[in-house]
Structure 1
Amino acid sequence: MQNSTILVVDDDRRLRDLLVKFLKEKDFRVSSANSAAEARAQLALNKVDLIVLDIMMPGENGLELTQSLRESGNDVPILFLTAKDSVDEKIEGLDIGADDYLTKPFEPSELTARIRAILRRNMQGGETRKEDEILRFGRLTFSLKEGALQDETSKIQLSSTELILLKTLAQSPWQPFSRADLAQRIGHRVEERTVDVQITRLRRKLQDDSRHPKFIQTVRHIGYTLCPD
């Protein structure tokens, strides 16, 4: 993962320069762009292992750039930076192909940890990522790409919070996620106890026995992990 090439795309020059400096200090190779158009030029000229992408940019924004890249078959991992603590925006970002997101302001050390986690997942499972987009839970299936949980005949309705949790866990099956991490994914003002409540509801949707859960298992002193069939 060291010496991986990171492309930082943000129209805020001060933040962009700070991110470039910080990531270089962590032994990443780093390039930068101030717009979607400049990012496209960088991608055309250089191999990039991951993009750190601001959502709110003038002109073509981060969501539009991501959707365009995915539609063209470009699967470069993307970590969104967003100033909005919006569940809908996070779901939209995951739906169109983002790998993760951070809400501004954030700790640089958390950014580094998330980058390394994405790169590690990509190295370990990148070749089978498309096959892994359909996860099975007994007679239920979950499409990571479409965000759809369904049985043989119908789609099962998920709340926006349940969908964020399931998508987050499904992107890295069998990897433990802490309650604090899951709470942050849902929103800054969410308490860890709320995560427990939402996990209980999600288990019911997956028809998982809350007394002896199979699909969402509790990892003692850490949090939860998703264990599909």
Structure 2
Amino acid sequence: MKVLLVEDDKLLGESLKAYLQENGIYLEHLHDPREVSPVLAVSTYDVIVLDLMMPHISGEELLKKIRQMDKKTPILILTAKSKMDDKKRCFETGADDYMTKPFEPEELLLRLKALYRRKIGDMVVKVGDVEVDFEKEKVYVRGKPVDLTRKDWMLLKYLVENRGRFVPSEEILNYVWGDKPVGDEVVRAHVKNLRKLLPEGFIVSMKGRGYKIEA
């Protein structure tokens, strides 16, 4: 799972990053809310975690801006505001979950996993001879495990989540590499790696449209 945390408390952000990554979740931390719009323009996430009490722009206003840019990604509010009016305002603006500080990191982990399950549906998906376990981040071909690099896993995961449609290279770059300066040739190289490990024809490509895994 790839998560974006928008939290101006740098110490809290770094501690959450360490905890979540120990539990298999890749987290990017932004402490300046003004960076969110540029980052979302070039990167894609599975869940966004958003504080409300931040400098420069309120979390409520930022939530509204994010929802204008992205209608689908689940958003979890993580804040010290505990009044019902605050919760109501956020849910009506587009938040999917609301968690108040102080909190247990394990509860945040459980809520992130729940939002992710709700987003993708089944946590284990079988497509032909390939089985993908999103929670354990494991891939099996005809019952045998396949070892993937982190980038190969993220690319395959994204294609399987979007199976049935052609996914443009730019969209893959945004999810797997974010704002890193890499191009289409990197996507092609990783797709080539995956094709060596997966059944022939599992990943379909079409020039100008991208890559697809049949539903």
TM-score by length of 2: 0.54
Matches of 1:166 and 1:17, distance apart in 2: 34
Q: Which AA in structure 2 matches 1:22?
A: K
C-alpha deviations, 1:131-189, integer Å up to 9, x for none?
A: xx333344331112322111355311001110010111121211221111111222222
C-alpha deviations, 1:42-101, integer Å up to 9, x for none?
A: 669985765499xxxx9769x866422156xx43xxxxxxxxxxxxxxxxxxxxx389xx
Matches of 1:24 and 1:146, distance apart in 2: 29
Match of 1:192 among 184, 202, 210: 184
Matches of 2:142 and 2:150, distance apart in 1: 22
In structure 2, the CA distance between the partners of 1:175 and 1:153, relative to structure 1 (3 Å rule), is: closer
In the alignment, structure 1 segments of 5+ residues that lack a partner are 1-6, 76-96, 100-121
Match of 1:219 in 2: 206
Matches of 1:37 and 1:98, distance apart in 2: 26
In structure 2, the CA distance between the partners of 1:38 and 1:150, relative to structure 1 (3 Å rule), is: farther
In structure 2, the CA distance between the partners of 1:33 and 1:147, relative to structure 1 (3 Å rule), is: closer
For the 8 Å contact 1:173–1:226, the answer to whether it is kept is yes
Match of 2:193 in 1: 201
Higher relative contact order (CA 8 A, sep 6+): 2
Structure 2 counterparts to residues 15-34 of structure 1, below 5 A: 15=57, 16=59, 18-22=61-65
Q: Which AA in structure 1 matches 2:65?
A: F
RMSD: 4.2
Structure 2 counterparts to residues 57-96 of structure 1, below 5 A: 66-70=108-112, 74-75=114-115
1:207, distance to aligned residue in structure 2 (A): 2.3
Matches of 1:151 and 1:24, distance apart in 2: 38
Match of 2:168 in 1: 178
Match of 1:143 in 2: 133
In structure 2, the CA distance between the partners of 1:204 and 1:43, relative to structure 1 (3 Å rule), is: farther
Matches of 1:14 and 1:45, distance apart in 2: 20
Aligned pairs, how many? Answer: 156
Are residues 1:14 and 2:39 paired? Answer: no
Identity over aligned residues, as a percent? 13
